[in-house]
Structure 1
Amino acid sequence: MTDVVTRPNADSAPDDDAIVDGPVGDAAAPPGDATTGEYAWAPAEPPKRSKHLGWWIGVPAGAAVIALVASSLVLIAPGTSIAGVPVGFSTPGAAADAVAAQLATTTVVLTGDGGDAEVTAAELGASVDSRALADRAFALHPMWNPTTWFADPSTAAVSIDEEAATTALREAAPALYTDPVDATIAFDAATASFMTTPAEPGTGVDVESVRLALQTALADGESRVELDATPAEVAAITSTATAEASTATLNSMLDTAGFYVGTERTVPIDRAVAASWITVQPTDDGTFDISADAAAIQPMVDSLAPLVNRAAENGKVITDSSGDVLREEAAGISGRALGDTSSVASDYATQLSTGNAAFTLPVTEVAPVITTLARRIEVNLSDQQAVLYENNAVVQSWYISSGKDGFNSGTGNFRINSKLTSQNMGNRDLTKAPYYFTPDVPYVMYYNGDEALHGTYWHDNFGNQMSHGCINMPVSAAEYVFDWAPIGTEVSVHY
C-alpha cells in the first residue's frame, strides 16, 4: 500500500491518530482539503538537469587559441624593429606605414653660420623602400617562430630627391646659397673662332650630408637631427667641359664650312659669315643647342650658279698598242651644272644644327671626252728610216744612221726604258774601248741595252750606217721624238 498523508485544517490541532491506511488504487485521488478529510498525492521530485559548465568555458578559450595562432601567421615577431622603428605585432603593411611615417616626420635642424632652419624629410623628398623592408622583416622574423623574436634591428637605406632637397634647403636657409655661373660660348671676331667662358661654381648645402644625417636619425630612432650647415660647392648646370666640347664642334664646322661638289669644297664660306648664320643657346640640361638661320643663308645660295657651273674640258692620254696608258697629256675635267636650289638654304640650316657644315650641292655632271693616242716607233734598217705612228697613222719620219757593219743595230721589239736630255758617250781615254768619246749627246732614249735613239750633231750623213749601234737622228728630230714618246713607247727595229 501507498502511504497517504491527510492535510488537516489549519485551525485543527494535529492529531497523531490522523494517519490511517488508505485504499490502494491506480488513479490518484483528486486533490482534497484537509478540513474535509479528503486525500491528496504528494508532488513528485523533478529530475536533475545535466551540468555543461566545462563546455561553455572551453568555447571562448579555444577561439582565443585559434585567433592567436591565426594572428601569428601574419604578424611580425615582437621585439623586431626596422631602422629604429618598432614593428613587433604589426602586419607588414602596418610596419611599412610606420617606417614611412617615422621618416617623413624626421626633421633636420641646420646649425652653424647661415643655418638656424628646419626642414622635414618629406620636404626633402627623402624615402625608403619601407614595404620591402617590412616584407623582409616578416620573412625573417614571423611571430609564429619564437626563435626569431627580439632580433637585432635592421637598417634602411634612405634615398633623397636631390632637386627637391636643394629647393627645400634653399628656401629654408637662403643665406647658405650663392648661384653658380654657367659656362658660355661666343664668337670672337679677332680670332674668327668660337671661344668658351669657363663656369664658376656656387655654394650651397651638401645634399649627401643631409641624406646621411636622415639615415643616422632613422637608425637611432630619433625624430630630429642637427647638421652643421657648412657651405659646399655647387657645380654650374653648364660645365666648362661641356662648353669646350661644343666650342670644338663649332670651330670644326667653321674649318669645313662650304658648298661641296663631291669631296671638293667648290664654294668655301668665310668663317665670320658662317658664324653669323649660327645661334648657340644653352639648354636646361646643361648642353648647347645649335641652330642656323635659313634666311641669312639664302643670299649666298642665290650666288652659287656662276661659282659652280663649268663646261667640260676634254682629256688626252698616250697609250701603247694594247691600250695601256703611258702618259696623260690632259686630265680631262667634267662639266657641271647646278641643280634645283629651292630648298638648299633650309636644308643647310638643318644640317648646321647637327654640327655638319659641309653641304653637298645638287649638281649634274658632264663627263669629259678622253682622246686616246696609241703611239709607236718603227726603225727600218733597210730604208734607214724612223717612222712615228699614232693610232696606226704616220705622224713623222726621218732618215737615220744605224750601226755600221761590225756594230750593227739589234733587231726586235723593244720599249723606251729611260730618257736623258744629255749624256757623254764613249770613253775619254781613247786607248780603251769603245775607242771614241762624244760629249753632250742630246735627247738620249735607251730601248735595248746600250742602244738608244739620240740626236747627232757630229755628222749629217743620215740615210747611211754611221753609228756604233745607236740610231743617230738629226737633233731636231730627236728632240721631237723625246717629247712625243713617253717611257714605255714601243720601238720595233727591223729590216
Structure 2
Amino acid sequence: MTDGANGTDATTYAWAPSEPAKRKNRSGLWIGIPAGATAVALIAASLVLIAPGASVAGVQIGGLTAGAAAQAISARLASTEVTVESPAGDVTVTGADLGASVDATAIAEKAFADNPMWKPASWFPTGTGVEIQVDPAAAAAVLRERAPGSYRAPVDATVAFDSGAQSYVATPAEPGEGLDVSTVTAALQSAFDAGTAQTTAQAGVVPVDALVSTEEADAAVATLNGILDSAGFYIGDERTVAVDRATAASWLTVTSDGEGAFAITADQAGIQTAVDGLAGAVDRGAVNADVIVDTGGAVIHTITEGQTGRTLGDTSGIAAAFAAQLAEGNGRYALAVTEAPFETTKTERNIDVNLSNQTVTLYQNGQVYQHWSMSSGKSGWETHTGNFRIGWKTAMQDMGCVPGYDWCTKDVPWVAYFNGDEGFHGTYWHSNFGTPMSHGCINLTIANAKLLYDWAYRGTEVSVHY
C-alpha cells in the first residue's frame, strides 16, 4: 500500500512472523534412563538369583533366590503324597505327615553358590538329588492312625521287686507289628527325586520293637540288685550296719521314662528311720588285745582280739546323702566316726627241757611259771636235743600200737608234740620221774601234762639240752 502524502504508494505490507528457534531433541535421554535402570536391576538380580534351569530333586529353582528356593523345596517335599497299599487297606500320607525333611536352606545356598545367574556358563545345570530324612516315630504314628488294623502294639519290658526272691526281676519286652516304614520312606524318596507329586507303595507288616527293651530292663535290674547286695552303712570296708534286701527295696522307686531309661529315687524318710538307730549299732568302747608271743615277740596265739573304740558323729544330712547315692546306684554309705585306739598285752611263753637235771621249766615273761621233774628217753631212745616248737596236740592217743614198735601203750593223755614223734604227755604207768624212762618223749604226771597242754599253744618254743 502507498501513502501519497509521504511519497509512497498506498500499499500496506503484512510481515510474516519470524521462524521459531528449533528445539533440542531429548528423546534419547528419556529413553536411556529406563533402559539403564533396567540394566542395573538385572545386574543386581543376577547377583542373588540362581541360574535359569537349575533344579533340585525335580523342583525348579532357576531364577529364585536361595531363600525362595529353600521354601519351594520344602513345600514340594511336604506336599508329595504316597498312597500306601497295605493288608488293612489303602491310606494316603504326605511328606509332612511322615515328618519328612531336608536341609533345604543348605541345599539352596549350595545351588546358588554352584550356579549363580551372573555366571552364564552355569545356566541349565544338571539337576541334583537330595536324600530326605523321615522321622520314624512320626511315620509309624501316622500309619498306625490311618491303618489301625495293621498295627499291634509292642509291650515294653518292666522292672519290679520280687518279694519271694528278694530281688528285682525284669519282665521281657514283646515285639508288636506295624506297616513297614522303610518301604513308605523309599517311595517318598523316589517320588521326590522324580519330581512327581504322587506315588504308591506296597507296605507289608513288619515287627515293631518295644521302646523299652529287655536288655535295658536287665541292665536296670543289675544295678538295683547291686544296691540290695551291698546296702548298708560302712566303716571302711566293714558293713557295720547291714540293710536287709526287703528294707532297701522299700526305700526305692523305679520309674521308666518309656524310652529305655529307668530312674531310681529313694525315700529319705524311710532311710531316716534307719539313721535314727545308727548310734546304738555303731558306738562301742575300745577292747584291749591279749596275745601270747615267743621270745622274739612274734604272736603265736591271740587270746583276745583288740578292737578300736568308735563314736558316730553328727547324723544330720545322712538320710539325704544316702538317698542321693541310691539314686546313682550306690548302696554303700560311708560313716564318719571318731576312733579310740586299743592297747595290747603281750605274754611271752617258752619251755626249757634240761636232760641233765631231768626237769621241765615253763617260763612266762622271763619268769619261772612252773618247774617239774620229768622222765626223758632212756638209753637207746635218748630224747633229741635242739630248739623246737609245739606242733600237733591231741588230748589222748595210743602210742606204739602199730607194726614196727615193740610196745603198745593205750590212752596216753595230753600229748603235745615238739619234734616229730617226741612230745610231752601224761604218764599213768610209772611215777619214777627224774629218771629217763621213755622211748624219747617227755613223761610228766597227768596233772602237769594237762597244765602244759592247756598253757603251751602251737608255736611255743621248746629248748632241749643237757
**TM-score, scaled relative to structure 1:** 0.72
1:486 counterpart residue number: 457
- 2:349 aligned partner: 375
2:14 corresponds to which residue? none
Query: Matched residues in 2 for 1:114 and 1:406: separation?
Result: 109
| 70-79 vs 202-211, which moves further | 70-79
Tell me whether 1:101 sits opposite 2:71 in the alignment: no
What is residue 446 of structure 1 aligned with on the other side?
A: 418
Deviation at 1:312, TM superposition (A): 4.3
1:6-34, CA deviations, whole angstroms, 9 ceiling, x for partnerless residues?
xxx9xxxxxxxxxxxxxxxxxxxxxxxxx
Distance 1:79 1:87 in 2: 7
- Work out which of the residue numbers 209, 222, 231 in structure 1 matches 2:196: 222
Residues in 1 aligned to 2:144 and 2:383: alpha-carbon distance in whole angstroms: 104
Aligned residue for 1:396? 370
Paired letter, 1:461: N
String of CA shifts for 1:283-319, please: whole Å, max 9, x gaps: 2544222222222333344344444444544432221
Distance of 1:119 and 1:405 partners within structure 2: 115
The Cα of 1:262 is off from its aligned counterpart by 4.1
Q: Residues 297 and 73 from structure 1, CA distance in 2 versus in 1: closer, same or farther, beyond 3 angstroms? A: closer
Listed one character per residue, the Cα deviations across residues 164-209 of structure 1 (whole Å, up to 9, x for unaligned) are 5455556666666565443333334444444434444455554443
Residue in 1 that maps onto 2:388: 415
Q: Which residue of 1 aligns with 2:435?
A: 464
Where does residue 475 of structure 1 map in the other structure? Answer: 446
Residue 437 (structure 1) aligned with residue 394 (structure 2): no
CA contact (8 A) 2:390 2:456 kept: no
Residue identity (%): 49
State the Cα distance separating 1:158 from its structure 2 match: 0.4
Tell me the distance in 2 between the aligned counterparts of 1:252 and 1:477: 57
**How far 1:372 sits from its partner (Å)?**
1.5
Q: Shift of residue 406 of structure 1?
A: 7.1
Please state how far the C-alpha of 1:127 moved relative to its aligned partner. Answer: 1.9
1:335/1:365 contact within 8 Å kept: yes
What is the letter of the counterpart of residue 319 of structure 2? Answer: A
In the TM superposition, residue 374 of structure 1 has moved relative to its aligned partner by: 1.4
What is the CA RMSD across the aligned residues, in angstroms? Answer: 4.7
Post-superposition CA distance 1:40-63 (Å, at most 9, x none): xxxxxxxxxxxxxxxxx9999999
CA distance in 2, matches of 1:292, 1:371: 47
Q: CA deviation at 1:339?
A: 4.0
The change in CA–CA distance for 1:285 and 1:399 in structure 2 (over 3 A counts) is: same
Deviation at 1:103, TM superposition (A): 2.0
Partner SS for 1:396: strand
What is the deviation of 1:222?
A: 0.8
* Corresponding pairs, count: 455
- Could you say which structure has the larger radius of gyration? 1
Q: 1:271 to 1:74 in 2, by over 3 A?
A: closer
- Cα offset for 1:221? 0.7
Superposed displacement of residue 391, structure 1: 1.2
Question: 1:281·1:288 contact (CA, 8 Å) conserved in 2?
Answer: yes
- In structure 1, the gaps of 5 or more residues are 1-8, 10-35, 37-56, 431-435
1:297 aligns to 2:267 (yes or no):
no
Q: Distance in 1 between matches of 2:244 and 2:421?
A: 59
Do residues 354 (structure 1) and 328 (structure 2) align?
yes
Alpha-carbon contact 1:82-1:155 (below 8 Å) kept: yes
Matched residue SS, 1:386: strand
Once the two structures are superposed, the pairs formed by residues 83-94 of structure 1 within 5 Å of their partners are 83-88=57-62
Instruction: State the Cα distance separating 1:219 from its structure 2 match.
Output: 0.7
Give the distance between the partners of 1:121 and 1:426, measured in 2 at CA: 102
Give the counterpart letter for 1:133 in structure 2: I
More displaced stretch, 66-75 vs 101-110? 66-75
Contact 2:390 2:462 in 1 (8 A): no
Q: 2:291 aligns with which of 313, 317, 324?
A: 317
Which TM-score applies when normalising by structure 2?
0.75
Tell me if structure 2 keeps the 8 A contact 1:402–1:467: yes
Q: Within 5 A, what are the aligned runs for 1:2-401? A: 79-88=53-62, 95-112=69-86, 117-137=91-111, 152-166=126-140, 179-228=153-202, 230=204, 232-401=206-375
Letter in 1 for 2:246: A
Is residue 428–residue 437 contact of structure 1 (8 Å, CA) maintained in 2?
A: no
> Secondary structure at 1:249's aligned position in 2?
helix
Q: Distance in 2 between matches of 1:253 and 1:267?
A: 15
Q: Cα–Cα, structure 1 residues 244 and 59, in superposed 2: closer, same or farther, change >3 Å? A: same
Q: Secondary structure at the match of 1:243?
A: helix
Structure 1, 185-194 or 368-377: larger mean CA deviation: 185-194
What is the deviation of 1:272? 3.4
In 1, the alpha carbon distance for the partners of 2:402 and 2:79 equals 114
- For residue 30 of structure 1, what is the aligned residue in structure 2? none
Instruction: Provide closer, same or farther for how the CA distance between residues 382 and 201 of structure 1 changes in structure 2, counting only shifts above 3 A.
Output: closer
Distance in 2, Cα, partners of 1:305 & 1:91: 77
Structure 1 residue 424 corresponds to structure 2 residue 399: yes
Hey, what's the Cα distance between the residues in 1 that align with 2:400 and 2:462? 21
Partners in 2 of 1:118 and 1:429 — Cα distance? 105
Note the alpha carbon deviations across 1:400-432, whole angstroms, 9 max, x for none: 2345567665555x02263353363599668xx
